[in-house]
């Protein structure tokens, strides 16, 4: 998921503006340079973590 796609995704969600920073921190951790994960693995991990964040709020 590119940064633009991620930005569109979180804009569609009903997210507290104060929590958007947490979402971006998560994105940056998953998409850090030199990660051994494939693009699909990163995207799936990101979506799974976003679901967890949304459920906890």
pLDDT at 53: 79
Predicted confidence (pLDDT) at residue 54 exceeds the cutoff of 80: no
Predicted confidence (pLDDT) at residue 57 exceeds the cutoff of 80: no
Q: What size, in residues, is the chain?
A: 57
Predicted confidence (pLDDT) at residue 44 exceeds the cutoff of 90: yes
- What are the boundaries of each domain within the chain? 3-56
pLDDT > 90 in the chain, percent: 23
Residue 10 C-alpha from the chain's centroid: 8
**What 3-state class would DSSP assign to 2?**
coil
**At which residue do the structure tokens 């994105």 appear?**
27
Predicted confidence (pLDDT) at residue 41 exceeds the cutoff of 90: yes
Dump strand ranges (E) for the chain. Answer: none
């Amino acid at each position: 998921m590119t940064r633009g796609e991620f930005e569109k995704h979180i804009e569609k969600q009903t997210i507290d503006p104060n929590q958007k920073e947490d979402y971006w921190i998560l994105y940056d951790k998953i998409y850090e340079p030199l990660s051994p994960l494939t693009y699909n693995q990163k995207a799936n991990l990101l979506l799974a973590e976003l679901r967890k964040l949304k459920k906890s709020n």
